[in-house]
Amino acid sequence: MSLSYIPNTYSDRTAMLREIGVNSVQELFQDIPEKFRHVDIRLPPAMSEPELIEEIRHLAALNLNLNEYTCFLGAGSYRHFIPSVIGHLIGRSEFYTAYTPYQAEISQGTLQAMYDYQSLICQLTGMEVSNAGLYDGSTAASEAALMACRITHRKRVAVLKTVNPGYIEVLGTYIRGHDDSLDKIEPQSRSLTSDYSCLIVQQPNFFGYFEDLNLYVQAAHDIGALLIVIVDPISLGMFKPPGEYGADIVVAEGQSLGNPTNFGGPGLGIFVCRRDYLRQMPGRIVSRTTDMSGEAGYVLTLQTREQHIRRERATSNICTNESLVALAAAIYLAALGKTGLRHVAELCYHKAHYAASEINKLKRFRLVFEAPFFKEFVVRCPISPSEVNKILFAEKIIGGLDISHMIEDSTLLCVTELNTKKQIDKLVHILRRL
Amino acid sequence: MNPREYKYTKEHEWLFIESDRVSKIGITDYAQSKLGDIVFLELPSVGTQVKQFDKLGEIESLKAVNDIFTPVSGKVLGVNQSVINDPGIVNSDPYGNGWLVRLEISDLPEVDNLMSSEEYDRFIGL
């Protein structure tokens, strides 16, 4: 077997095989069953480059794209406007291919960008310390739960039933691996006991409406547990940041800050907490310091929490993050600024409320919840939501998320600043005929 | 030099019996010199019951984190607040002000499982 992309020569390989006491490469792989060793892969004949580009273009055109379709789907991945400056800056080769900046002296640009990201996220959430980002919102919520178990030395985790069900599933997976236990709690429940490490709440919740956070802060702190809040970062342009109502750990999906929805990824796990818990925090942290000549410099800090030092006792064994997505989020926040972010949040809020009130005027559609909401709301339909979505789809509209398995005949609709009044009116017009 | 009146473990902790069953625990000079600058200590809360050679806490230097094990079984009577506030004391004075935990010994014969200072000197190749 001679493959041009393997740099070892025939004699290199013979020497290595001899060293480990094997005669041939075939013998090396003998543990793999014979039938899996020689799989017949039937590939089409090779193409020329122009033919290949044409083929890929054809395949890509089979996908829908949101420039041609109107979208009212959210439920965790959101379409917001992405300023052009983001693509331009993150596409620079210094950022685009940067790897983990262990070697601070050659990584100042990447480190400074991460530090700026952390600073912006702290300001946005009103919390004291941020890491450089985790994989996505659901894994960030799971890491927060494990962190709460470490801090409180307790093994039970409570999650409110109104949290995104996808997040609850990921939580279950993480917690099972740690021999901790997860309980789903009814809203307003009084069943919290003092063996819980934390209470996890989403604000606004999966169904789009706001929870009474004061109630849950009190409930968690009364039993010595931590309050973990999952937020929509865009909503913080308008609503009270979790640092102000006493959250201990705040996590979020950061995709909506300057990143496309793609196929549901890549995401960005925003993770912030109170300074007291800094040493139990998972992931990388970048700090600002002063070098020998008195200049400001940036460096990874508190690395003893991490797996390259603490091994299996690390605060997390997933140390890869989403630096490029985090960078996009940082540029997004910097480009919009305080007033810009507030403007985006207000546009989402007012457009979503316009859509909700127009739909609620229809005879056969009803808003399911009366509580205040941000940009998502649940609507009960006269026919199955999947049928509604088929009809909308024929009109080039991607409808809401069918949640009829959770609430009868209901759909979760999302409206952002990118939905125009014309689009909303068209949606209402189609629904009126059903 | 490792004090004669102290007892030692293979994990480089020391035990000093102050009176009756009351003892102090710390890490040895050899341990602190190998760890380098100590920056953080995680010590058990008062009242914690521990069994001989169980994990007692964690000690973190700039480049490593190590477990601290208890030389004997007992109940934690107190932790040294000054080393928590200033972990560098463990480097500068490991046998004195750098003590970590005060422990009530529950099983005195366990002390015989520990090394004398001569044995410990030999153990670390002095």
Question: Does any domain span residue A235?
Answer: yes
Question: Does any domain span residue B28?
Answer: yes
Q: Please report how many Cα atoms fall inside a 13 Å half-sphere around the Cα of residue A357, on the Cβ side.
A: 7
Which amino acid is present at A42? R
* Residues in chain A, total: 434
What pTM does this model have? 0.86
For chain A, 434 residues long, the average pLDDT of each consecutive 10-residue run is: 77 93 90 86 92 96 91 96 96 84 88 96 98 96 97 96 97 91 87 94 98 94 97 97 96 97 90 95 94 93 83 79 92 97 98 98 97 98 97 97 97 98 98 95
Q: Are A415 and A375 in contact (CB under 8 A)?
A: yes
Domain boundary among A264, A297, A331: A331
Q: Say whether both A233 and A371 belong to one domain.
A: no
**What would the pLDDT profile of B84-110 be if each residue is shown by its tens digit?**
999 999 999 999 999 999 999 999 999
Domain boundary among A305, A331, A357: A331
Question: Does any domain span residue A93?
Answer: yes
Distances B11 to A137, A255, A350, B4, B69 between C-alpha atoms, Å: 41, 47, 64, 18, 7
Domain count, chain A: 2
Q: Say whether both A317 and A420 belong to one domain.
A: no
Backbone conformation region of residue A157, classed left if phi is above 0, alpha if psi is from -120 to 50, else beta: beta
* 3-state secondary structure string across chain B: CCCCCCEECCCCEEEEEEECCEEEEEECHHHHHHHCCEEEEECCCCCCEECCCCEEEEEEECCCEEEEECCCCEEEEEECHHHHHCCHHHHHCCCCCCCCEEEEECCHHHHHHCECHHHHHHHCCC
Q: Are A98 and A427 in contact (CB under 8 A)?
A: no
Question: Can you give the pLDDT at residue A317?
Answer: 79
CA angle A233, A238, A240 (to 5 degrees): 80
Chain B nearest-CA residue for A279: B40
Question: Does any domain span residue B118?
Answer: no
Residues in chain B, pLDDT under 50: none
**Which residue of A304, A306, A308, A315 is the best one to mutate when testing the B interface, meaning the one whose CB has the most B CBs within 10 A?**
A304
Range of the domain at B13: 7-107
Only one residue has tokens 């547990």, namely A225
Distance to chain A for B123, nearest Cα, Å = 26
* Residue A42: φ, ψ to 5°: -95, 100
Backbone conformation region of residue A153, classed left if phi is above 0, alpha if psi is from -120 to 50, else beta: left
Q: Is A153 at the interface with chain B, CB within 8 A? A: no
Distance to chain A for B66, nearest Cα, Å = 8
Domain count, chain B: 1
> Which residues of chain A neighbour B61 with C-beta distances below 8 Å?
304
Q: Is B63 at the interface with chain A, CB within 8 A? A: yes
> Which residues of chain A neighbour B35 with C-beta distances below 8 Å?
none
Question: Can you give the pLDDT at residue A12?
Answer: 92
Q: Which of A356, A320, A263, A210 is nearest to A77 (CA)?
A: A263
Q: Is A184 at the interface with chain B, CB within 8 A? A: no
DSSP A47: -
Q: Is B40 at the interface with chain A, CB within 8 A? A: yes
Question: Can you give the pLDDT at residue A285?
Answer: 94
Question: Does any domain span residue A247?
Answer: yes
Question: Can you give the pLDDT at residue A324?
Answer: 93
The Cα–Cα gap between B83 and A26 comes to 60
**Does A313 sit within 8 Å of B63, measured CB to CB?**
no
Residues 89-118 of A with CB under 8 A from B: none
Question: Does any domain span residue B117?
Answer: no
> Which residues of chain B neighbour A301 with C-beta distances below 8 Å?
none
Distances A364 to A190, A367, A386, A428 between C-alpha atoms, Å: 36, 10, 16, 12
Q: Say whether both A232 and A364 belong to one domain.
A: no
Range of the domain at A241: 84-331
Q: Which of A350, A70, A373, A381 is nearest to A209 (CA)?
A: A373
Q: Are strands A410-414 and B49-50 parallel, antiparallel or unpaired?
A: unpaired
Distance to chain B for A314, nearest Cα, Å = 10
For A172, the token pair is 């279950």
Question: Does any domain span residue A43?
Answer: no
Q: Say whether both A259 and A363 belong to one domain.
A: no
Question: Does any domain span residue A358?
Answer: yes
Chain B nearest-CA residue for A303: B63
Question: Does any domain span residue B53?
Answer: yes
Question: Does any domain span residue A2?
Answer: no
Domain boundary among A312, A331, A350: A331
> Which residues of chain B neighbour A289 with C-beta distances below 8 Å?
none
Q: What is the ipTM of this complex?
A: 0.71
Provide the CATH number for the domain around residue B38. 2.40.50.100
**Which residue of B35, B38, B39, B60 is the best one to mutate when testing the A interface, meaning the one whose CB has the most A CBs within 10 A?**
B60
Task: Name B101's Cβ contacts closer than 8 Å, sequence gap at least 6.
Answer: B24, B25, B43, B44, B56, B57, B70, B76, B78, B79, B80
The Cα–Cα gap between A183 and A394 comes to 41
Provide the CATH number for the domain around residue A93. 3.40.640.10
Q: Are A76 and A378 in contact (CB under 8 A)?
A: no
For A305, the token pair is 């929490």
Question: Can you give the pLDDT at residue A2?
Answer: 61
Q: Are A169 and A142 in contact (CB under 8 A)?
A: no
Question: Does any domain span residue A18?
Answer: no
Question: Does any domain span residue B120?
Answer: no
Q: Is B46 at the interface with chain A, CB within 8 A? A: no
